[in-house]
């Protein structure tokens, strides 16, 4: 068929149906009743649509062949059934078909002369496949740029799977709420409103910790070392011990199991309560 940047799995399923119809059309004698088992519901639904979507030209060709066969066999009791078969389970010869499909994927294609006329030429390029390929290309470029950036490297130091959907799922937990989810994301990306960051942004005059007086309030200092929050940190350490992980930034900000405990710790310190009220 061509590269997946130009065609889709949906088209491949329709090509399979078209090839089956071609085999039926070459049967001059024997059975007049045929059943095609298809494990793709989208391909079956195509025959009940207006056939105007990308790839549906293959379904139109399959229907054209089916009509030709029906006209030739009007005298007989001709019947054709398309049915959904989950995973082709229980279909005799299924493993042989899989073997041949793998051979085709490696380039072992059939002789063009044995194919229906419609498949002897290059197929129309599927716009959906082109859009998907472009989207994937853009995503790869974005991922490379993100991984090379300062924020990307910082996030990767906490969670090697970054960028991934895991953290998005973590902060999307209903129990967290919008403010807690936002605060976790800030710590994760190095934007936590601690004084070290705020001084760099020229929002405060000093980077000193307002709770214990340490010369610099960093995210690590706030989360792991500040003695003013020892009581609140005890519950956080208990949760880390429960999942058998060390008290480290990677544990606190990189593991979904720690999200609620970290949010509770931040909330319990009241360190950012004023800014949270302003956000509300």
Residues with pLDDT less than 50, the chain: 275-280
pLDDT for residue 130: 92
Cα gap 224→269, rounded to integer Å: 13
pLDDT for residue 31: 60
Cα gap 144→261, rounded to integer Å: 32
What is the model's pTM? 0.60
84: tokens are: 């959904």
**Cα→Cα distances 135→6, 60, 141, 264, Å:** 13, 29, 10, 38
Which residue in this structure is represented by tokens 């009220």?
Answer: 277
The string of DSSP codes covering 34-49 is EEEEES-HHHHHHTTS
76: tokens are: 């007989």
**Cα→Cα distances 28→22, 68, 73, 102, 173, Å:** 12, 13, 10, 30, 62
243: tokens are: 């999942």
Cα gap 177→278, rounded to integer Å: 16
3-state secondary structure string, 225-249?
HCHHHHHHHHHHHHHHHHCCCCCCH
Q: Is the dihedral of CA 214, 218, 221, 222 positive or negative?
A: positive
Q: Is 85 helix (H, G, I), strand (E, B) or coil?
A: coil
- The domain limits of the chain are 9-130, 156-279
270: tokens are: 């009241």
Closest-CA residue to 58 (of 9, 111, 5): 9
Yes or no: domain 9-130 corresponds to CATH 3.30.420: yes
Cα gap 231→258, rounded to integer Å: 17
Q: Is 125 helix (H, G, I), strand (E, B) or coil?
A: coil
Strand partners, 34: 80
pLDDT for residue 274: 54
């Amino acid at each position: 068929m061509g590269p997946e940047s130009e065609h889709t799995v949906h088209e491949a399923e329709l090509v399979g149906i078209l090839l089956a119809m071609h085999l039926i059309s070459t049967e001059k004698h024997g059975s007049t009743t045929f059943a095609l088992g298809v494990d793709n519901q989208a391909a079956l639904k195509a025959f009940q649509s207006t056939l105007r979507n990308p790839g549906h030209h293959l379904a139109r060709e399959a229907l054209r062949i089916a009509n030709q066969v029906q006209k030739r066999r009007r005298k007989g009791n001709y019947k054709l059934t398309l049915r959904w078969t989950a995973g082709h389970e229980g279909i005799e010869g299924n493993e042989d078909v899989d073997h041949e499909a793998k051979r085709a994927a490696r380039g072992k294609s059939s002789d063009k002369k044995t194919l229906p006329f419609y498949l002897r030429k290059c197929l129309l390029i599927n716009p959906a496949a082109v859009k998907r390929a472009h989207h994937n290309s853009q995503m790869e470029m974005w991922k490379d740029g993100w991984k090379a950036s300062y924020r990307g490297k910082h996030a990767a130091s906490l969670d090697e799977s970054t960028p991934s959907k895991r953290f998005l799922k973590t902060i999307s937990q209903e129990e967290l709420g919008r403010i807690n989810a936002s605060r976790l994301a800030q710590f994760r990306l190095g934007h936590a409103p601690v004084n070290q960051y705020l001084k760099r942004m020229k929002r405060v005059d000093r980077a000193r910790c307002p709770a214990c007086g340490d010369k610099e309030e960093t995210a690590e200092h706030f989360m792991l070392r500040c003695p003013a929050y020892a009581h609140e940190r005890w519950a956080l350490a208990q949760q880390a011990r429960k999942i058998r992980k060390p008290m480290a930034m990677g544990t606190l900000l990189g593991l979904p199991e720690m999200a609620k405990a970290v949010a509770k710790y931040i909330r319990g310190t009241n360190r950012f309560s004023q800014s949270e009220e302003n956000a509300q």
